[in-house]
Structure 1
Amino acid sequence: MPELTPPSVLLHRSFLDAMAEFAAEGRGGASDDSMVGAEIRGFGAGWHDPAVFARYLATLEAAARPETPRPDGRVACTTYWYADGPTYLGRLAIRHTLNGPLLEWGGHIGYDVRPSARRRGHATAMLREALPLARALGIDPALLTCDVENTPSRKVIEACGGVYEDTRVGKRRYWVPTSG
C-alpha cells in the first residue's frame, strides 16, 4: 500500500526512473519554477552517483531543520516521498511557514506525482496523509495553490476540503483544514 515516507536511498533506482519521466515531459528547464524542476537542475546530472544521491538526501533532511542556513526567501521545508514498497510514486513538501511569495502563490504544501502514476488517486491520498503532518508542525489551515488551468490539482485540493479564497498571479488559492 502506498504511503508517505522520508526520502531514502532504498528508492534510488525508482526515483531516477521517475525523474527521467519528469524530464521527458519538460520538467527541469529554466522556466520550471517547481521544486522538482529546481531539484533536476541542481542535482539531476549527478543523481546516478550514490555519493551525490546521498548528499541530495542529506540536503532534503537538513531543509526541514529550522536552524539550517538557507538562501533568502527560503523557509524550513519537510519533504516526503510517496512510495509503494520499492516504487517511487511522487513527492510532497510541507513548508513550515509562509513568506510573501508563498502566501501569494506557493502555499504550505506542494506535491508532484510521476507521470506514469497519475490519475490513480495518489495525489489525493498523499495530501490526505500529509494534513496531520502539517498540523503537527502547527499549520492549520494549510494554504495550497494550483495553476488556474490545473484542473486535476484543483480537484485534489477540493477533495481534501480545500476552500477557495481567490486567484492571484495565475494561481488558485485554497485553505485546507489540517484538523479533523
Structure 2
Amino acid sequence: MKQDPRRARQKRNYDEPLPRDEMDDSYQDQNSYSQPRRRPWMKILIFLIVLIAIVLAVKSYLNHKSVEVSENVTIVAVTPIESTILIPHEECHNETTSKLVKNKNATFFNNLFDSKKNPKYIQQNSTKRVCQTVNAESQVTNGYVVKYQFGNYIESMNVVTPPPLNAVIPLTELQKYQQQTLVNNVASDAVSNK
C-alpha cells in the first residue's frame, strides 16, 4: 500500500476516521464469531454466588447476636416503687339535737297550779346519722426497680413482680417481666384516659 505523499507530510488527526484505503482489512474478529456468548449466564452465576455469600454472612451474624443476648444476668438489688394514694371512705356518726317545743298538754290552769308536771315548753331530742367522705392516705407498690449485672455493666429496669435477689437468670426472662410492666402501663393509661 502506497501512501499519498501529501498525506505523509501532514500530521494525523485521530478524531477523524481513517479513509477506506488506509483501513486494515486483514483483521479478523475472532472473539465475536468463534466462541459462543457466555457472559449473561456467567453474570447470573456470579450474582447468585455473591447473594448466597451475603445471606450466609447475615444469618451467621444474627445467630451470633442471638447467642449474645441470651447471656445470664445476676439480680443485684430489688427496690419497691411506692406511691401515696388517697382512698376515699365514709365516716359516719350520730348527731343528737334538742329543741324546746310548746307542750300540747299544758293548759292555762296547769301553769297556775302545777307548772312542774306540765311545763309550758318541753325539750324534744332527735338523733340523725351524719356521714361524710374522708380521704385516707395509703402506700401502694406500683412495681419494682430491679438492678442487675450484665457482663461488667449494672443496669436497671422496672418490673411488676420482682425476681429473687442474687438470682442468675437469662436476660430474655428478665425482659419478660418488663414486657408485663409495659402491658399493664398501657392498660392503666387507657383506663385513666376515659
Shared fold, TM over 0.5: no
Task: Give the TM-score, by structure 2 length.
Answer: 0.20
Q: Report 1 or 2 for greater relative contact order, CA contacts < 8 Å, sequence distance ≥ 6.
A: 2
Flag the structure with larger Rg: 2
Task: Give the TM-score, by structure 1 length.
Answer: 0.21
- Name the structure with the higher strand share: 2
